[in-house]
Amino acid sequence: MAKMYLNRAIAAAVAEEMARDERVFLLGEDIINCGGGLSTYLGVPEKFPDRCLDMPIAEAGYTYFGVGAAVAGLRPIVDLMFSDFATICSDAISNGSAKVAFSTQGKCGCPIVFVMANGGRGTYGNFGSGCHHSQCVESWFQNVPGLKVVAPYYPADVKGLLKASIRDDDPVIFLFHEGSTGVSGIVPDEEYVIPLTNAANILQEGDDITIVAIQSMVPIAVKAVETLKKSGINAELIDPRVLIPLDEKKIIDSVRKTGKLVVVQEAPRRGSFGGEIVSTVVEKLNGQNISVKRLGSLNAPIGNGMVEYFLVPKEEDIVNAVKELCQK
């Protein structure tokens, strides 16, 4: 077991998979000299110079290049730097990679991973990057059949799930949190792969209420759970880690037990994945008396600097939402 920063966990996962499978290659902007725009691939180009490609600032072009390579039998990792830039190449992702297996009646797959930083640096009080570099995009892709969406927070989860994503035969949107590249954690030394199915992690067991925290909200929810204990409220905290396919069973079983659910996310509430979780729970537990609440950022574009921090949910927002439901 070793302590590792999140960006180093990404680099380790990619290097290990490139060593394991010669079909895996990496492409994106600033890969060779900078190790990626956010230093997430440091050391990888030196180990695999023939399979690391620097691309021009033309995401729509090189993303489709990656899709073609995947169709041809390779396993590309396409780095898009910020998740906001996924709009530029959304055709390659949503109309290209997602449709391959269906359009070929399963004769051809598209094993490609789109890696991108999700959310903003301002989430935890740092200086934010503004409205073109800080958005959360998980809900943008949830309505596209054929895509898988992975959104871990901790370094060990990032490494284990990225390795599984690279090995997967379907296109995967792999989101790491932009404000968490410097977060450190214990990562297993041995081969470590986390399957994309049944991937939700119950971080804290409890009987009074269920909290589902998506990606950047996980550490904030952990603090809220500790605060709630002081008030005699034992919350069960779940980190989904993989959004598609969602581990519905763990979440539904938890809400069936507690009867109350708070979902917290960095993305705005409207049209969010948090709303999808709530809808799923309400449908599956139809007839059971349950109370639900969604928390998310304010419905506004993200300003530069410290503005971002004031838009996103805080520990006290989670605590207040839980207490409100527990008093009903």
- Cα 64 from Cα 76, distance rounded (Å): 11
Phi, psi of 263 (to 5 degrees): -110, 130
**Rg (Cα) of the chain, in Å, rounded?**
19
Q: What is the DSSP letter of 214?
A: -
Catalytic site includes residue 133:
yes
- Cα 199 from Cα 319, distance rounded (Å): 26
Residue among 133, 177, 178, 276 flagged as catalytic: 133
By DSSP bridging, strand 2-5 and strand 184-187 are: antiparallel
By DSSP bridging, strand 291-297 and strand 24-28 are: unpaired
Catalytic site includes residue 308:
no
Residues 6+ apart with CB under 8 A from 191: 16
Distances 256 to 171, 251, 253, 284 between C-alpha atoms, Å: 33, 9, 5, 10
Is 305 strand, coil or helix?
strand
> Which residue from 269, 264, 209 is spatially nearest to 235, judged by alpha carbons?
209
Residue among 16, 17, 59, 178 flagged as catalytic: 59
164: left (phi over 0), alpha (psi -120 to 50) or beta: alpha
Residues 6+ apart with CB under 8 A from 317: 264, 295
Is 112 strand, coil or helix?
coil
Token pair 């590309």 is found at 76
Residue 305 tokens read as 């600097």
Residue 242 tokens read as 């993989």
Task: Give me the residues paired with residue 186 across strands.
Answer: 3
Residue 306 tokens read as 């410290």
| Residues with catalytic function | 59, 133
